[in-house]
Amino acid sequence: MRALRYSAAPSSWTTWTPNLSAGPPATPPMTEFADGELVLLVDKVGRKHRVRLKAGGRHSLHSGAIEHDALIGRQEGVVVTTQLGARLLAVRPTFAEQVTGRVRQAQPIYPKDLGAILISADLHPGARVLEAGTGTGALTLAAWRAVGPSGLVVSYEQREEFLEAARRGITDTLGELPPNLFLKLGDIYQGVDERDMDRVLLDLPEPWQAIPSVCSALRPGGIVFAHCPNVSQVQRFFEGLREVRGFGMLEVYELLQRGWTVRGRSLRPSHRMVAHSGFLCFARRIAEGELFEPEGEGFR
Ligand SMILES: C[S@@+](CC[C@H](N)C(=O)[O-])C[C@H]1O[C@@H](n2cnc3c(N)ncnc32)[C@H](O)[C@@H]1O
C-alpha cells in the first residue's frame, strides 16, 4: 500500500490498490507462434522484419512473400522459406528489438544505455519512479519491468501526440496499460504532484530546469538520473544540483558498444559501432543543504 502514502496524489491513485498478482502480462508461452503475435523475421544479411501474424495473411519482402499460416503453429526459431527461395529465421522480438524497431517520433534511449541505467540508478522491484519525458516510452517500459508489480512508474510528457504514441506502443508491447504505470500530460519544469519517490529519471533538453521538481519529488537517499547528449548539458545539470545543494555522489559516464565479427578466420571488431549516444548522469539526494562530492573517482 506504499502508493497510498502520497500526499498530493492524482485522484486516480487514491482508488488504486496495488494488485500484487498482476505481474507483467503473461508472455506468450515459449512454444508455437499464435495468430496475432509479433514475430521477427531475420534475413540472411541480418535485416529484421517485424510481422504481426494474422491467419490467412501474407508478408511481402524483396526476397519474396511468406504466408502467415506458414508460421502460425510453428515453433519459435523455425527457418521458413519465401516463395522465391530465401530463408528467414522466425523468432519473438526481445525487449530491445521491440523498443528500437518501432516507428517513432522521439529519440529513444539506446538499449546499450538502458541496461546500464537500470543498474546504476538501482531500479529495484518495488521502487517508485518518476520519469520525464516519456518520448517513445522505451525507458518507461524498461523502468516498469525493473520495478515489477509492486513498484510504481509515473511518466510526464509535455506533448500530447508523443504521450498518445507512447501509450499505443506500451499497450502494443504489454497488451494493456498496467495499473501501476501512469502516463501524465504535463511539463515537469512547472512542478510535479509526486512526493517521496525513490528514483527520478530525466531525458529532457534542459534537465537543470527540472531540478526544483526533483527536489520536491525525490526522497533522501533516492537517485536522480539524467540522459544528456551533450556535455554542456551535463555541466549545467551538475552546476544546478550543486547550486541547490542537497545532492551528493555526482557521477557521469558514457558507454561505447563495439561489436566483433567472429567467423572463420575473420576475427575483428565490426566496421561500425554504437559510439556516442548520451552521457549518463547520476546523483543521490542527500540531507537538505548538504553537498557531498568525494574527491577521488571512486569505484563503479
Ligand atoms: C529524447 S525524448 C525522451 C525519449 C525517451 N527517454 C525514450 O526512451 O523514448 C525527450 C522527450 O521529452 C519531452 N519533453 C521535453 N520537455 C519536457 C518537459 N518540460 N516536460 C515533460 N516532457 C518534456 C519531449 O516532448 C520528448 O518527448
Task: Please write the tens of the pLDDT for every residue from 205-225.
Answer: 999 999 999 999 999 999 999
Mean pLDDT value of segment 190-208: 98
For the domain made up of 38-91, the CATH class stated in words is alpha beta
pLDDT at 296: 76
The CB-based long-range contact list for 94-99 (8 Å cut-off, 24+ gap) reads 95/141, 95/142, 95/145, 97/40, 97/48, 98/38, 98/173, 99/136, 99/137, 99/138, 99/141, 99/142, 99/169, 99/173
Ligand 1 centroid distance, CA of 78 (Å): 39
Residue range 133-156, pLDDT digits in tens: 999 999 999 999 999 999 999 999
Ligand 1 touching residue 111 (CB < 6 A): no
For atom 2 of ligand 1, the residue with the nearest CA is 135
Residue 107 has pLDDT above 80, yes or no: yes
Q: Please choose, from the candidates 164, 165, 174, 168, the residue with its C-alpha nearest in 3D space to the C-alpha of residue 142.
A: 174
- If you average pLDDT over every residue of the chain, what do you get? 89
CATH number listed for the domain at residues 97-292: 3.40.50.150
Q: Please choose, from the candidates 144, 134, 58, 42, the residue with its C-alpha nearest in 3D space to the C-alpha of residue 97.
A: 42
Number of helices (H), then strands (E), belonging to the chain: the values are 7, 16
Residue 10 has pLDDT above 50, yes or no: no
Ligand 1 touching residue 144 (CB < 6 A): no
Of the chain, the percentage scoring pLDDT greater than 70 comes to 88
Residue 17 has pLDDT above 70, yes or no: no
Ligand 1 touching residue 132 (CB < 6 A): yes
For atom 15 of ligand 1, the residue with the nearest CA is 204
Domain residue limits, the chain: 38-91, 97-292
Ligand 1 touching residue 140 (CB < 6 A): no
Out of 139, 204, 214, 281, mutate this one to test ligand 1's pocket (max ligand atoms within 8 Å of CB): namely 204
For atom 27 of ligand 1, the residue with the nearest CA is 135
Taking the model in full, what pTM does it have? 0.86
Beta carbons of 208 and 239 less than 8 angstroms apart: yes
Residue 15 has pLDDT above 90, yes or no: no
Residue range 34-57, pLDDT digits in tens: 999 999 999 999 999 999 999 999
Residue 23 has pLDDT above 70, yes or no: no
pLDDT at 21: 43
Residue 5 has pLDDT above 70, yes or no: no
Ligand 1 touching residue 158 (CB < 6 A): yes
For helices 138-147 and 111-120, give the axis angle rounded to 10 degrees.
40
Ligand 1 touching residue 204 (CB < 6 A): yes
